Amino acid sequence: MTKENLDEAPFATVIASAGRQLLAAVNPAAAAKGIAPGLPLADALSFLPGLATHPAELAEDAAALRRLAEWSGRYSPWTAPDQPSSGDHGIKIEITGSAHLWGGEVALAADLSRRLARQGIGHRLAIADTLGAAWAVARYASGRATGNPISGKFAVETANLIVPIGEARDAIAPLPVAALRLDPTLVQGLHRVGLRHIGDIIAMPRDALARRFGADVARRLDQALGDLPEPLSPLGEVPTRRVRLSFAEPIADPADLARAAERLTQDLVARLAREGMGARRLDLGFHRVDSRVEHIRIGTARPSRDPVHLARLMIGKLDTVDPGLGIEDAILAAFAVEPLASEQFETPLPRQHPHPSPQAGKGIGGHEHSRRAPFPARGGGSGWGPGLAPLFDRIGTKLGLDAPARLEPRESHIPERASAAVPISNHHFSEKPPRPPMKGEGGVRGADVGERHPHPPIAGAMGPSLSHDAGEGLTPTKPPRPVRLFAPPEPVEAFWVLPDDPPFHFTWRRRLHRVAQADGPERIAEEWWHPDGQLANRNGDPGAIRDYYRVEDETGRRFWLFRAGLPGDPPPRWFIHGVFA
C-alpha cells in the first residue's frame, strides 16, 4: 500500500539516518519519476527539484496502520499491521473462512477497496493462497497480469489482484525476486548471478539455494509457495464466536446503537444456545466510517447467554462510544466461551394468564411447564413440590399475582440486593443476576475491561471485618445480618464522639437509644461492576460507601446502623437499615 497520494505532485517523507536525509516514502507521482524510498534526499532533489517533502512521522504512521488493521477486523478477526523495518508497510488479513460471508473473494476485495478509496487511502490489494504470494502480487504484479482490476473509477490508485486458488506458483513466478520479502543485499546477490525473477529460483533445490544465498531466500520462497507455514499473529485475541451487523447507511443515534447491540446479542446467544455454551467476555466493536473502531467490553464472571442481561450490560456503556461520522458495522465477539447447561437459562415464557386455571396442575408449576421441576428442590424434604401450585394460584388470584414470592439469594454484598423477593408467578423466568467478581479474582478481570473507563480497584468490602456475598453460603466469619431489613434505610439522628466511631446514642422513630455495645465498622462499597451502578442511599450521593455498625442498646435491642460516606466527609449521615433478633 502506498501512502500519501494527496495530489498529483511528487511528494516524499524524509527521515534522518546516520547524518543523512533519506526518503522514507514516496507518492505515486514521485515513484513515476523514478524516486524510491531509501534514496538520499539530496539525490532525489537533484533528479526532481520540485519534490515536496515532509518529515516522516513514524510513530504516527505505525499507529495509523494499526488502527487500519483493527478496522479491517470487519472482514476477519485475523488481521495485523505489516510493518517491516525496510518500509513498504501494509495490512495482513486472513480471510480463510470469512470470504463467503461477503459473497466471495471478489466481492470482499471490492468492498474493502471501495471503503479504503472513500477514505482516500491509495492501496493495492491482493488475495492469494499464502501471505507471501499475496504480498508479492500486491506489490509487484501489474494489475492486468494476474487478476481483475475491479475498481479504476476512483481518484486514488487502486488495484485488486486475486490469485485463484492453487495458482500462487504461477502468479509469483514472473515477479522479481524482491517480491519474496528479501533483504536488499540478498536481492543484489541474486541479481549478480542473473537470478532476477522468482521463476528463476523456484525449481532450484532448497538446500543449494540456502547454501548459496542464505536460508532466508529458501524460507521466503517456501512461505510464498505454501510449503512452509506462515501463521499470522493477529492484532488481538481472536474470538471464538463472532456475529456482525452491517448498516446500509452509517448509524450514529444511540438508540440505533442500542438496537444493534440487542440484535447482535440475540444472534450470538442463539448460536451459543445451539452449542450449549455461554460467554464470559464480550467485545462489541463499532466500526466507524473513518476506519476507527469503538469498543464496548463487558464481562461476567460466570458464563452467560442471557440476551436481556448481556444486552443491558452493553447498552449501559453506550455512552462511552463516540460514533464519529457514523458507524457502518457492528461486530460482537465472544471470548472465554464455556459450556453452560441449558437449565441455567431458559427462553422467557409468556407470562401466566392472570385468571385462575380451572384445573389444578395447570397453573404455576403445572404440567404446562413439566419439562422442568416447577420449583427447585433445595435440601431434603424442603422442596417446592408441585402440589403447591394450586395454593399459589389461589393466593395470587385473591391477593394479586405478585403477592406470593420467594426470597431469592443474590450474590451481592449490598444488603438490600443480597436477598430479593421474586414473585412466584414469574419464578420460571427470573433473570439470573450477574455474579460479581469473587474474592481473589482480580478487580478488572471478569468484569469491565473497557479501556476508556478503567475502574478504580475498589474492593467490595474493605472494612476491618471483610464481608463478601451476603447471599448463599454461610461462613462462620460472616458478619451477622438482621432479620428485618428496612427498604429504604431510615434516617436516624445520631450523636458520636469521633467521626469514625459508632454513635453513643441515636434517635429513631422518636425513641432515644443509648448504645451499650457496638461492633464494626463493616465497610460496604458500591458494586462498580453492577449494571445499576451505585448504592441508592436516599441522599443523592452516588458512589457512596457505607460503614455498618451493629449496635446494642441498654435494653438489649440490636440494630444495624450505617454511616453514609467516608468518615471525613461532612456532614456524616446515619441510617438504620435493620433490626437483629
Whether omega before 49 lies within 30 degrees of 0, making that bond cis, reads: no
Asked if 30 and 20 touch (Cβ cutoff 8 Å), the reply is no
Count residues binding other proteins (CB under 8 A): 65
The gap from C-alpha 301 to its chain's centroid, in whole angstroms, comes to: 14
404-443 residues near other proteins, rule: CB under 8 A: 404-407, 409, 415, 418-419, 421, 424
Whole-angstrom distance, CA of residue 163 vs CA of residue 568: 71
Among the listed residues 193, 325, 349, 487, the single contact to other proteins using CB under 8 A:
487
Q: Which stretch binds other proteins (CB under 8 A): 167-175, 229-237, 250-258, 390-398?
A: 390-398
How near is the Cβ of 347 to other proteins at its closest, in Å?
24
Place of cell 519519476: 33
Among the listed residues 381, 457, 568, 571, the single contact to other proteins using CB under 8 A:
381
- One-letter identity of residue 165: I
Cα separation values, 474 from 382, 412, 464, 574, Å: 18, 13, 19, 28
The residue (of 286 and 575) whose beta carbon lies closer to other proteins is: 575
The residue (of 166 and 380) whose beta carbon lies closer to other proteins is: 380
How near is the Cβ of 472 to other proteins at its closest, in Å?
8
Q: Report which secondary-structure segment, H or E, holds 553.
A: strand 545-553
Q: Does 579 bind other proteins (CB under 8 A)?
A: yes
The single-letter DSSP state of residue 285 is: E
Q: What 3-state DSSP class applies to 469? A: coil
Asked if 288 and 325 touch (Cβ cutoff 8 Å), the reply is yes
Q: Which stretch binds other proteins (CB under 8 A): 65-73, 326-334, 399-407, 539-547?
A: 399-407
How near is the Cβ of 509 to other proteins at its closest, in Å?
8
Among the listed residues 220, 295, 550, 563, the single contact to other proteins using CB under 8 A:
550
Among the listed residues 387, 488, 499, 543, the single contact to other proteins using CB under 8 A:
387
Among the listed residues 67, 241, 263, 558, the single contact to other proteins using CB under 8 A:
558
Residue 373: is it exposed, middle or buried by C-beta count within 10 angstroms (0-12/13-18/19+)?
Answer: middle
The residue (of 192 and 509) whose beta carbon lies closer to other proteins is: 509
Instruction: Give the number of other CB atoms < 10 A from CB of residue 32.
Output: 11
452-481 residues near other proteins, rule: CB under 8 A: 464, 470-471, 474, 480-481
Q: Which stretch binds other proteins (CB under 8 A): 246-254, 310-318, 432-440, 498-506?
A: 498-506
The residue (of 132 and 578) whose beta carbon lies closer to other proteins is: 578
The residue (of 80 and 470) whose beta carbon lies closer to other proteins is: 470
- One-letter identity of residue 6: L
Whole-angstrom distance, CA of residue 156 vs CA of residue 166: 30
What does R_g of the chain's alpha carbons equal in angstroms? Answer: 33
Q: Does 515 bind other proteins (CB under 8 A)?
A: yes
The residue (of 43 and 493) whose beta carbon lies closer to other proteins is: 493
How near is the Cβ of 521 to other proteins at its closest, in Å?
10
The set of residues, in sequence order, having a beta carbon less than 8 Å from that of 511 and lying 6+ positions away, is: none
Q: Does 554 bind other proteins (CB under 8 A)?
A: yes
Among the listed residues 203, 248, 341, 483, the single contact to other proteins using CB under 8 A:
483
Cα separation values, 25 from 157, 225, 263, Å: 16, 29, 44
Q: Does 502 bind other proteins (CB under 8 A)?
A: yes
Q: Which stretch binds other proteins (CB under 8 A): 38-46, 99-107, 181-189, 485-493?
A: 485-493
Q: Report which secondary-structure segment, H or E, holds 138.
A: helix 131-140
Q: Provide the CB-side half-sphere exposure for 277 (13 A, CA).
A: 14
Q: Does 580 bind other proteins (CB under 8 A)?
A: yes
The set of residues, in sequence order, having a beta carbon less than 8 Å from that of 306 and lying 6+ positions away, is: 269, 345, 431, 432
Q: Does 485 bind other proteins (CB under 8 A)?
A: yes
Q: Report which secondary-structure segment, H or E, holds 570.
A: none
Asked if 502 and 496 touch (Cβ cutoff 8 Å), the reply is yes
How near is the Cβ of 556 to other proteins at its closest, in Å?
4
How near is the Cβ of 581 to other proteins at its closest, in Å?
2
The residue (of 199 and 491) whose beta carbon lies closer to other proteins is: 491
Place of cell 475498589: 458
The set of residues, in sequence order, having a beta carbon less than 8 Å from that of 89 and lying 6+ positions away, is: 1, 3, 61, 65, 81, 82, 83
How near is the Cβ of 74 to other proteins at its closest, in Å?
47
Among the listed residues 504, 505, 567, 569, the single contact to other proteins using CB under 8 A:
504
Q: Which stretches of the chain bind other proteins, using CB under 8 A?
A: 378-385, 387-388, 390-392, 394-395, 398-399, 402-407, 409, 415, 418-419, 421, 424, 464, 470-471, 474, 480-487, 497, 501-502, 504, 509, 511, 515-520, 550-552, 554-558, 578-581
